[in-house]
Amino acid sequence: MEKRILGNTNIEISPVGLGCMGLSHAFGTPLEKAEAAEKIQAAYDMGYTFFDTAECYTGTNPDGTTAYNEEAVGQGIKPFRDKIVLATKCGVKFTDMGMELDSSPSAIRKAIEGSLRRLQTDYIDLYYQHRVDPKVEPEVVAETMAQLKKEGKIRAWGISCVEKDYLRRAHAVCPVSAVQNVYSVIDRDTERLFSVFEELGITLVAFTPLAKGFLSGRYAERPTFDHPEDNRSGRFQFSEEGFQYYQQALDLIRSIAEEKSATMAQICLGWMIRKKPWIVPIPGTRSPERMKENLASADVALTAADIAKIDDALNKMGLADAAVRRMNRPQVSK
């Protein structure tokens, strides 16, 4: 399988990564730790070498205890830790008041020690600032990351949900290797930053590349997500209005999937993989069948002409409406 290089490093990753969040956070009842670990091991056996988690990805077990995503991931990757690339994040915690941001040097250092313990490792390959903290200057965050690199606790660092100016300032102090932003065929706002990513040699790690499963074509009508810890129910794409708004896009992807003898998910992922050599999607799933399907998207035969055709059709649909993008973009759970 074709490998990709992580940003300005020599770190090789699979062209599709596994977003591990849904194993224990925001998608209903957390899996038992052993079961979640088995899913991760199955993904590795298929060819995944890039796994993404975060300090704040937690859920509530049926017995009321906390399910830590990092613990499940750590257990899952333990047999092949040195053969994969592990990403986790700091700077975000969930409280009764909502999302709490803290990217101070002391908070980052406390966070990484906790992550290293839960992940059962002594280094993180890619360490993200999970959200920009307006109380802390980017240079301060970058300098802290530079120190962690010198200490051997991280190999590279990145930022999730970032804008151009902050990214440039941080990169000037300690080169940023990856940006993790929302990106899919129905949310292309991140393309505004493509010229910066190319200039600085940064990998775009695309999260929610299938709009939380919406773009898979699995849902013929509006689904109901009743579990209190399943955040899909509040997403615009799953509303009555959203289904109507994106119907043309779904029809487009479905027709191309039929033409290419692929699934809709594979077309959506293959579209971004073939668009740029520095884009790596990290769809999340609990299903080994979907894992296999998603990974195979790297082999879908989409040409430059196919990509241009899709982009042109999407542009004509007017899906760049800012108000809709805001409703569609994840706010707290990712």
Q: Would you name the residues annotated as active-site residues?
A: 57
| Torsion angle defined by CA atoms of residues 260, 263, 268 and 271, in that order, rounded to the nearest 10 degrees | -30
Enclosing H/E stretch for 239: none
Count of C-beta atoms within a 10 Å radius of residue 236: 21
- Positive or negative, the CA dihedral 175, 181, 184, 188 is negative
From the number of C-beta atoms within 10 Å of its C-beta (0-12, 13-18, 19+), residue 37 rates as buried
- Can you name the residues that pair with 27 across neighbouring β-strands? 230
Beta-carbon contacts of residue 185 (< 8 Å; ≥ 6 apart): 215, 249, 253, 268, 271, 310, 314
Q: How far is C-alpha 213 from the chain's CA centre? A: 13
- Can you name the residues that pair with 154 across neighbouring β-strands? 124
Kindly report the CA angle at 193 between 192 and 196, in degrees rounded to 5?
A: 140
